[in-house]
Amino acid sequence: MDPTPLIDMQQVLTRYPSGRIALGGVTLRIHRGEFVFVVGESGAGKSTLLSLLYGALPAASGHLTVAGVDLRTAKSRAVRALRRQCGVIFQDHRLLFRRTVFENIALPLQVQRHPKARMVGRVEAALAFVGLSDAIWSYPDTLSGGEQQRVAIARAMARQPKLILADEPTGNLDYDTALQVTRYLVELQRKGSTVIMATHDLQLLEAFPSRVITLHAGAVVEDRG
Amino acid sequence: MRSDFPDAPTPVRLPGGWSLPPFGQPQWLALLVVAIAMWATSALWVGLQSVLQWAGTLQPEIHFYLPPGQPQQQQALIAALKQIEQVKRVDRVSRAETDAWLKRWLGGTPVAGDILPDTIRVTLSGNGDFLQEDLHDIAARFHASVNDEEFALLHARDRLTLASNILLGCGVVLMIGMALIVTNTLRLSLLAREDELSLMRLLGADEWFVQLPFLLEGGVIGAGAGALALVLQLPLLAALRALGLTPPSFAHLILPLLAAGVIVGFAGAVVAVRVRSA
């Protein structure tokens, strides 16, 4: 394993805009190729932790490095470059319903100014991975909730990111669909990505044994696996 | 875009960069409003330019009146008037001409007796700072009177020039107003696509990449409005020519209107994206 961690957090503290502490003194290291579950009750700080990792929220104090980028001192250009290396899956999937599945999945490629001629191949491969090849020219609102979340996974993996951050991607899904979605993420980890998945679904932890970081009231209370 | 994705059943529209956002009702409405405002401003300017050109061809005349039967004083007055720089020509109006004018004025009634004063017509080449005062001084010196109403024409050109300058100021204000219309339209457009824009930023898009489509949209609205205003000028130009005026040519209007449209649209877009991203 690469001795340099992909993510290095030392005593990171961040606050909500109201001033209340969202995460207080979090210290953890995540190495390349790991699959990590982040669990905890609602409001424990799972989403905040993930938001910190792609620069959507600033850390108020401490040390935070992701893929060699010190997010406390990085310029916005470096943060944008880091985001282009990440695949983010949101709980509400944030699909664009006025755009086709192709356009949704091609969006990160477009942001990266990927050659248009090669976009279709990339999108088809991502959709084939999540078993939705037939939906390429459909609109997201014609798909089920589980299918929409699979499209979100396809979007996150389209540019083959080294880090995938999944914020409760199974939160609105039934157990069987949640298992299927998590299986796709585990498969991405096996292909070489580092996957951090926030969830409050403890059954998934039994189905996919791996490292589990437990948060409570903005602090890491357990780190096992 | 379709050529890049030949299998797509509908045209593929990927956001960001050089791709123009879809043109909807608000954009068409903004284009129309800006075009009307541009047309109104440019129409006033074209009209004024035509009138100014016409006024430039006029030769203002001022009439001086002397009691009849004073030929020496009349000669002295004519000599004094010729000394003034802006005086182009001085003529003595003949008795027959003044009688004919009075008869015409009275509706054909013959004029009895020698009741009209001797008249001197002064043709001016332009206006000067103290011309009116100088002419009055000369008139007073030779016990003559001046037709003051005729000075109005002399001042007309000055007033038209002043109106032209005021119109220029109004045009600047209107341009700011037009830019605000474009700003508002684009802000609505940005608001409608907020989810898409924030997602692009989260995916690591450069700010110029996110904003460029809206700047392009502003430029297109402005250029379209300029083109429409240009087309709407055609009937006005024809009408002014029919009146015997010489308005600026259509070719002279192309560049200013298109450039003004693009500047207004682009300025509006810059304000809109700055406000939304702040």
pLDDT in tens, A24-49: 999 999 999 999 999 999 889 999 99
Tell me the per-residue pLDDT of A140-185, one tens digit each, with 9 for 90 and over. 999 999 899 999 999 999 988 999 999 999 887 888 888 988 998 9
Fill in the amino acid letter for B216: L
Is A20 an 8 Å CB contact of chain B?
Answer: no
Q: In this complex, which of A83, A106, A119 lies closest to B204 when CB atoms are compared?
A: A83
Please give the average per-residue pLDDT across B202-223, as a whole number. Answer: 91
**Is the Cβ–Cβ distance between B213 and B20 less than 8 Å?**
yes
Contact predicate B191/B96, CB 8 Å: no
Is B95 touching A (CB cutoff 8 A)? no
Band (A113; pLDDT cuts 50, 70, 90)? confident
**HEC letters along A154-188:** HHHHCCCCCEEEEECCCCCCCHHHHHHHHHHHHHH
Per-residue pLDDT reduced to its tens digit, A81-101? 999 999 999 888 899 998 999
Domains and CATH numbers, chain B: 22-55+157-277 (no CATH), 60-153 (3.30.70.2190)
Residue with the bigger pLDDT between B121 and B52: it is B121
Looking at the complex, does the CB of residue A4 fall below 8 Å from at least one CB of chain B?
A: no
Q: How far apart are CA A169 and CA A177, in angstroms?
A: 11
Structure token digits, residue A27 = 């210290």
User: Residue B271: which residues within 8 A CB-CB, separation 6 or more?
Assistant: B179, B180, B183
Q: Is the Cβ pair B209, A111 closer than 8 Å?
A: yes
Judge contact between A110 and B17, C-beta under 8 A: yes
Residues of B in Cβ contact (< 8 Å) with A112: 204
pLDDT in tens, A184-206: 899 999 999 999 999 988 899 99
Tokens of B52: 């100014």
pTM of whole model > 0.90?
A: no
Q: What share of chain B has pLDDT > 70, as a percent? A: 95
In this prediction, residue A220 carries a pLDDT of: 95
Note the pLDDT tens digit of each residue in B56-68. Answer: 777 778 899 998 8
Nearest CA in chain A to B202: A83
Question: Which pLDDT does position B2 carry in this prediction?
Answer: 46
Q: Do A137 and B4 touch (CB under 8 A)?
A: no
Q: Is A125 exposed, middle or buried (0-12, 13-18, 19+ CB in 10 A)?
A: middle
Q: Which of A3, A51, A5, A59 is nearest to A30 (CA)?
A: A5
Alpha carbon distance B257, A53 (integer Å): 50
Q: What are phi and psi of B132, to 5 degrees?
A: -60, -45
Nearest Cβ partner of B203 from A107, A117, A119? A107
Q: Which of B4, B14, B200, B212 is the best substitution to test chain A (most A C-beta atoms within 10 A)?
A: B14
Of residues B238 and B164, which shows the higher confidence score?
A: B238
> Chain B: nearest CA to A114, how far in angstroms?
12
Q: Is A82 on the interface with B (CB under 8 A)?
A: yes
pLDDT at B1 over 60: no
Q: What mean pLDDT do residues B136-157 have?
A: 85
**Residue from A52, A104, A111, A112 whose CB has the most chain B CBs within 10 Å, to mutate:** A111
Report d(CA A163, CA A68) in Å as an integer.
Answer: 13
Helix or strand holding residue A84 (H, E): none
Which residue in chain B has the smallest CA separation from A118?
B4
Bridge partners of A194, per DSSP, are A163
> Which residues are paired to A65 by β-bridges?
A8, A70
Q: What is the pLDDT of residues B113-125, one digit of tens each?
A: 677 888 999 998 7
Query: Rounded to the nearest 5°, which phi and psi values hold at B109?
Result: -70, 130
Rounded Cα gap, residues B200 and A128, in angstroms? 24
* Range B138-145 average pLDDT: 91
Residue B72 tokens read as 């020496």
Look up tokens 């606050």; give the residue.
A15
CB atoms within 10 A of CB A79: 18
- Give the residue from B194, B199, B201, B208 with the most A CB atoms within 10 Å of its CB, the best one to mutate: B199
**CB-CB neighbors (< 8 A) of A102 in chain B:** 5, 8, 12
CA Rg, chain A, in Å? 17
Q: First vs last Cα of chain B: how many Å apart?
A: 31
Taking residue A50's Cβ as centre, other Cβ atoms within 10 Å add up to 23
